[in-house]
Structure 1
Amino acid sequence: MSFDDSFFDEPVQTAPPPPVPRRRGSTKVMYFLLTVLAVCVALLGGLAISLQGRIDDLDEKLEVQTLSSATEIVETTTEEEQKPSSAPSSGERGLYDEPDDLEAFIDEVSRSIVTVFCADSNGTGFASDLTGMDEGYKTFIVTNHHVIEDCIDDPASLSVTHGGADEVETKAEIFGWDEENDLALIEVAVELPVLTTATEFAERGQWTMAIGNPGPNDVVLHNATTFGHIIAIEDNYFNYTSALVNPGNSGGPLVNSRGEVIGVNSFGFVDQEIGLWNIAVDTDVLCEVVVDCG
């Protein structure tokens, strides 16, 4: 057999490659996974919406509860303010402690303290917020009866000085007295800073300060202070205090930690069993016996 040249010039046709077989199982798996993913996304979205709704509801409930609680607090506070309470307030509890700024406290109270001179003796007095003095006088001075006793029949021998060591003398006159409770009122012609009278009776354990001008005429200790506590109360008017009261302190005020007068220092005595007692008479007695306090 012979072959001519044309036989070699014709291209040789090769067979096409066999088709790649498809993996039908893999496609089904992919569709399944996509379906599961879509379901998960939908569930998560729904859960997120549900949670957001619950959070919004919770916030709304909390806001309502907060407003309700605040309203209850305001209403309760208002009711408590309107009703007198037998329980001590924060201010009353503070009466058991000394003032925060004791130096400023003493300076403030000292402005109302005076020295009362009668004949050859002297004592202490203080400007009071009592009103109703005679014409020409501007301030009531509270003191003890035994301080001015010798001047009742000799009023010209009565004099009052104020201003501490500066000792500015002022016109004074006896207004009235209560010998039984050892209290007296003097009128002075100048206006002095007054001490406020406490509106409530003192209680055992409360902090106290006694202030006065003890010492003889020529050696007066101006605005000397002693500190203590109420140790007993008798008949509401007689306050027993551990604050020392010296001769010359008689007639001075016993004040609480607010600077309010809770008594007039009157006398002290020593008991062998109990010790030193100092007694301050409540100024309410003045309103019942000496002057009409309105």
Structure 2
Amino acid sequence: MTTSPTGLGEPRGPWFVSPELNPADRPGYGVPEAAPRGGGAGAWRRGLLAALAVVALSTASGGLAGGYVASRDPAQGKVAASPPSSPGGASGVPADLVNAAAQALPGVVSVQVGTGSGMAGGSGFAVDDGQHIITNDHILDAGGSGGVTGSAAGGNGTGVTVVGPDGRRLPAQVVGRDPGSDIAVLRVSRSAGLRPLPLAQPKSTRVGEPVLAVGSPLGLSGTVTAGIVSALDRQVRLGHAGRQSAVQTDASINPGNSGGPLVNARGEVIGVNTAIATLEGSGSIGIGFAIPIQRAEQVADRLIRRGG
């Protein structure tokens, strides 16, 4: 008998590896690598890098046509001023972020995958009126579904289900998967009525602008956390394709946020939340990574053309 994740869960998923680290130095899966003791400043730096290599990927956890636009900003490193936002209430939350959350939440779902012994989960979001949903491929890996597409069932006979913002549980078809980019596309019935989220225009994202991470961290659906874009074109190793550029954010991303959208103050998706860096197995420390939406859009479009 399977159970749905309803609360705290275990971090699991693929690794984020600092580009400065040799892959051979990567610690074992799920086991935080302790920092070396002693040895002066050099040992301390090595310990810090090793600790940063530990990732709790948000797993206990498609797309429209668009060209690939690498997030390479020649002005990287220069903080761009964000437009002033309207004042918020006593909490200090800008009103534009409140509006962005209201726009994003109706299109965000929880993704649940049967593992044979329970359920693994993540997040996803609708991108078109055909009810295609972008999510992370590693969420489906948790269910052992391998490369199987075109079915709601994983390779072990268990299913993929999405839970809509209204609480309805809907069987989902796996349209396509791309482990290299860590992007997968699901589809649900048009009767689901999910609101497609608008996607940000290429090169419109700026360092320092406010963002929201939306998803189901630790099984808590409809959760929104706020932060800023910390960096663009951050080179990290995500998925199975080696090093690739990512959007770095300090918005809290936790297990279960994987596959959910990172949205700007206009409610436009700028990235797909995928990983966090941790220190010695701790939770989110304000260093999270999202796949740029232009890359995710390109991959999702290809998967939809191929899989329907």
TM-score tier after normalising by the smaller chain length: 0.5 to 0.7
1:199 to 201, 205, 208: 201
How far residue 93 of structure 1 moved from its aligned partner, in angstroms, is 4.6
How far residue 100 of structure 1 moved from its aligned partner, in angstroms, is 2.4
The residue type paired with residue 188 of structure 1 is V
The residue type paired with residue 231 of structure 1 is S
Which is helix-richer, 1 or 2? 1
- Distance in 1, Cα, partners of 2:84 & 2:187: 31
How far residue 222 of structure 1 moved from its aligned partner, in angstroms, is 1.9
The residue type paired with residue 184 of structure 1 is A
| Alignment length (residue pairs) | 188
- Distance in 2, Cα, partners of 1:288 & 1:193: 20
Residue 239 of structure 1: aligned partner: 247
User: Secondary structure of the equivalent of 1:229?
Assistant: strand
2:284 aligned with 1:285: no
- Distance in 2, Cα, partners of 1:247 & 1:198: 25
2:162 to 157, 160, 181: 160
How far residue 95 of structure 1 moved from its aligned partner, in angstroms, is 7.8
Residue 214 of structure 2: aligned partner: 211
- Distance in 1, Cα, partners of 2:272 & 2:85: 19
Residue 183 of structure 2: aligned partner: 183
- Distance in 1, Cα, partners of 2:233 & 2:82: 21
Gaps of 5+ in 2: 1-80, 87-92, 235-243
Cα distance per residue 1:19-47 (max 9 Å; x no partner): xxxxxxxxxxxxxxxxxxxxxxxxxxxxx
Gaps of 5+ in 1: 1-91, 132-137
- Distance in 2, Cα, partners of 1:96 & 1:200: 22
2:113 to 110, 118, 127: 118
Computed over aligned residues only, the root mean square deviation of the Cα atoms, in angstroms, reads: 2.7
Question: Contact 2:213–2:262 at 8 Å: present in 1 too?
Answer: yes
User: Secondary structure of the equivalent of 1:94?
Assistant: coil
The residue type paired with residue 223 of structure 1 is G
2:136 aligned with 1:139: no
From the superposition, tell whether residues 284 and 213 of structure 1 become closer, same or farther in structure 2 (CA, over 3 Å). Answer: same
From the superposition, tell whether residues 147 and 96 of structure 1 become closer, same or farther in structure 2 (CA, over 3 Å). Answer: farther
Question: Contact 1:95–1:256 at 8 Å: present in 2 too?
Answer: no
2:263 aligned with 1:255: yes
2:117 aligned with 1:109: no
Select the structure with the greater relative contact order (CA < 8 A; seq sep ≥ 6): 2
Instruction: With the length of structure 2 as denominator, give the TM-score of the two structures.
Output: 0.55
Percent of residue pairs identical: 30
Question: Contact 2:134–2:300 at 8 Å: present in 1 too?
Answer: no
Question: Contact 1:96–1:207 at 8 Å: present in 2 too?
Answer: no
The residue type paired with residue 95 of structure 2 is D
Cα distance per residue 1:251-277 (max 9 Å; x no partner): 1100000000000000101369xx641
User: Secondary structure of the equivalent of 1:118?
Assistant: strand
How far residue 200 of structure 1 moved from its aligned partner, in angstroms, is 2.6
2:269 aligned with 1:270: no
Cα distance per residue 1:174-228 (max 9 Å; x no partner): 111221221111111123111011013322111111011122xxxx312111111
Instruction: With the length of structure 1 as denominator, give the TM-score of the two structures.
Output: 0.57
Cα distance per residue 1:66-125 (max 9 Å; x no partner): xxxxxxxxxxxxxxxxxxxxxxxxxx9538887525434322211111111101201111
From the superposition, tell whether residues 108 and 181 of structure 1 become closer, same or farther in structure 2 (CA, over 3 Å). Answer: same
- Distance in 1, Cα, partners of 2:262 & 2:270: 6
From the superposition, tell whether residues 223 and 112 of structure 1 become closer, same or farther in structure 2 (CA, over 3 Å). Answer: same
1:94 to 83, 88, 97: 83
How far residue 237 of structure 1 moved from its aligned partner, in angstroms, is 4.6
